[in-house]
Amino acid sequence: MRANKPAILGGTPILSRDVPVTRPTVAPCGPEFHRVMDRVLNSGFLTKGAELEGFEREVAAFIGVRNAVAVSSGTMGLTLTLRCLGLLGHAVMPSFTFMATGHAARWNGLEPRFADIDPHSFAMAPGATASAITAETALVLAVHPFGAPCEVDEIESLCTSRGIPLVLDAAAALGGCYPDGTRIGAKGLAEIFSLSPTKPLTCGEGGIIATNNDDLAKELRIAREYGNPGNQDSVLLGLNGRMPELSAALGRHNLPRLPEWLAQRREAVTRYQRNLIDTAGLTFQRIPPTAQSTYKDLCVMVDRELFGLSRDMLAGALQQEGVTTRRYFDPPLHRQAAYRQWAVPRGVLPCTESVAEGILSLPLLPDMAMDLVDQICSAILRIREHSAEISGLSAHGGADE
């Protein structure tokens, strides 16, 4: 009997070693890649060289966009894009996002105005976006949550009819597709990707600004260079946002493998869904039909009443089984200390609040074995079977609430 008990109730943990929630995906680095590294290190160009040019060209072709401007991080890409637009006023954005979305607006003096999300897709809802737009709105900054496309056409037509630029925080979405089959990256005025270690494509740290606007791309290349157009007479308050050559080389090394890695991630997600689809109290992020998410994170919503445990209790019990989880994005921006000034009362963003409270990211690793997915699902199911006992533990201070 003990064997079937969850670890939190004294059973044997399902996993003998802790499984992380994610791990960087990197293509094997054989002699060919070492030769590239040697070439870079001996070229005399550790930045602004042939690797950067090649990477930008290859990413632009992969996405199907005229320009891909590589920078040192996704945060830098967002910040420099907003700087180039030189806007004043309010930025309408979701509160349910990573802090960098808001920070980029604040570093440019823009005031956040939070729009609520759809409770199933977790993306900013077009209706809520329309309600948040006022005469002071300078920009709409939408997000593709966890790599699944937001309702971009609806939001874009709202922006176009009001003459407001739309910028898309696509940090997690490189390789994802819109419902029309086109790759994420060519909509709005610009779409900004992150290439940090947790992203589907990484180059250590980095970012890409994808845009079909040639003037913006030109200005961004100046902005990432301190605002210096080359004559030492800065034309805007740029930053050092350059991507190093070694990072660009790693990005080029990884890019050809991205479609295969995304297919592996989808296969693992399908397995999770198949195992857990009938579990009352657990629901998966809804992806628009015919769209493709990168599944940068695999998120489930935990309904305390139906599952029998809160999200935090489930996370605590899973940790005892050796399963690491994350709570993205909790707290949402409007509950974070740096956004105190823009806090809104409970009930104003009801879907943001309930999703942030219920969401849990489960492990999704490169080349994940299906057995491992099955073990994690078994852990979830046996925890659920014993939810009443675990809940009782929590009432006596034993479980992570």
For binding to ligand PLP (CB under 6 A), which residues are involved? 73-75, 97-98, 100-101, 143, 169, 171-172, 194, 196, 207
Q: Which residues pair with 199 in a beta bridge?
A: none
- For the CB of residue 10, give the shortest distance to ligand PLP in the complex, in Å: 37
Q: Where do the DSSP E strands lie in 95-136? A: 111-115
| 116 versus 169: smaller Cβ distance to ligand PLP | 169
- For the CB of residue 310, give the shortest distance to ligand PLP in the complex, in Å: 24
| 194 versus 211: smaller Cβ distance to ligand PLP | 194
| 74 versus 185: smaller Cβ distance to ligand PLP | 74
| 14 versus 143: smaller Cβ distance to ligand PLP | 143
User: Pairing between strand 67-71 and 207-211?
Assistant: antiparallel
Helix (H, G, I), strand (E, B) or coil at 152: helix
Alpha-carbon span 163 to 153, nearest angstrom: 15
- For the CB of residue 74, give the shortest distance to ligand PLP in the complex, in Å: 3
Angle between helices 74-85 and 214-223 (to 10 degrees): 110
- For the CB of residue 274, give the shortest distance to ligand PLP in the complex, in Å: 27
| 164 versus 168: smaller Cβ distance to ligand PLP | 168
Alpha-carbon span 26 to 252, nearest angstrom: 11
| 9 versus 203: smaller Cβ distance to ligand PLP | 203
Angle between helices 387-395 and 370-385 (to 10 degrees): 70
| 324 versus 391: smaller Cβ distance to ligand PLP | 324
Alpha-carbon span 154 to 183, nearest angstrom: 17
- For the CB of residue 398, give the shortest distance to ligand PLP in the complex, in Å: 33
- For the CB of residue 76, give the shortest distance to ligand PLP in the complex, in Å: 7
Tokens of 204: 């250590």
Tokens of 42: 């001996």
Residue 278, Cβ neighbours under 10 Å: how many? 7
Residue 174 neighbours by CB under 8 Å, 6+ apart: 59, 63, 184, 185, 193, 195, 199, 200, 201, 208, 258, 294
DSSP designation for 333? G
Residue 263 neighbours by CB under 8 Å, 6+ apart: none
- For the CB of residue 389, give the shortest distance to ligand PLP in the complex, in Å: 36
| 158 versus 195: smaller Cβ distance to ligand PLP | 195
| 262 versus 276: smaller Cβ distance to ligand PLP | 262
First and final CA of the chain: distance in angstroms?
A: 26
Tokens of 346: 């409970």
Residue 263 burial (10 A CB sphere; 0-12, 13-18, 19+): exposed
**Position of minimal CB gap to ligand PLP:** 74
- For the CB of residue 116, give the shortest distance to ligand PLP in the complex, in Å: 17
- For the CB of residue 107, give the shortest distance to ligand PLP in the complex, in Å: 12
Residue 177 near residue 184, CB atoms below 8 Å:
yes
